[in-house]
Amino acid sequence: MAAKSQQRNPVAIAFGAVLREARTQTGQSQEALGLACDIDRTYVSLLERGERQPTLGTLFALSGQLGVPPELLVAQTAEELRRASSSSPVRGQRKS
């Protein structure tokens, strides 16, 4: 199982974390968000787990339903990616 998570795209994982946070802040379930965006609840789950990446159209649908500009979701994803990469030890170096 660990090998599978290492193969996932870091951008997709970062976006998933941002999406989950935005969704929970609005109090929506994955099912409610999916229905409002005309996508399946399981797809929302895949996005949040970083197993899929949204198309541009899906990004706009999600942002509209979440009440945030799409560029904010992208900016937050970039910040999450930076945060995740800065907390990961560099190969060959130990964290002090």
**What is the pLDDT at residue 37?**
97
- Give one word for 69, left, alpha or beta, with left for phi > 0 and alpha for psi -120 to 50: beta
Contacts of 56 by beta carbon, 8 Å cutoff, 6+ apart: none
Q: Provide, rounded to the nearest whole percent, the portion of the chain with pLDDT above 90.
A: 78
* Both structure tokens of 32: 């409610």
> Tokens 């900016």 correspond to what residue?
75
pLDDT-derived band of residue 4, with 50, 70 and 90 as boundaries? Answer: low
**Residue ranges per structural domain of the chain:** 7-83
Contacts of 82 by beta carbon, 8 Å cutoff, 6+ apart: none
- Reported pTM: 0.83
CB 18 within 8 A of CB 26: no
- Each residue of 21-67: pLDDT tens digit? 999 999 999 999 999 999 999 999 999 999 999 999 999 999 999 99
Among 1.10.760.10, 1.10.260.40, 3.60.15.10, 3.40.50.12780, name the CATH number for the domain at 7-83. 1.10.260.40
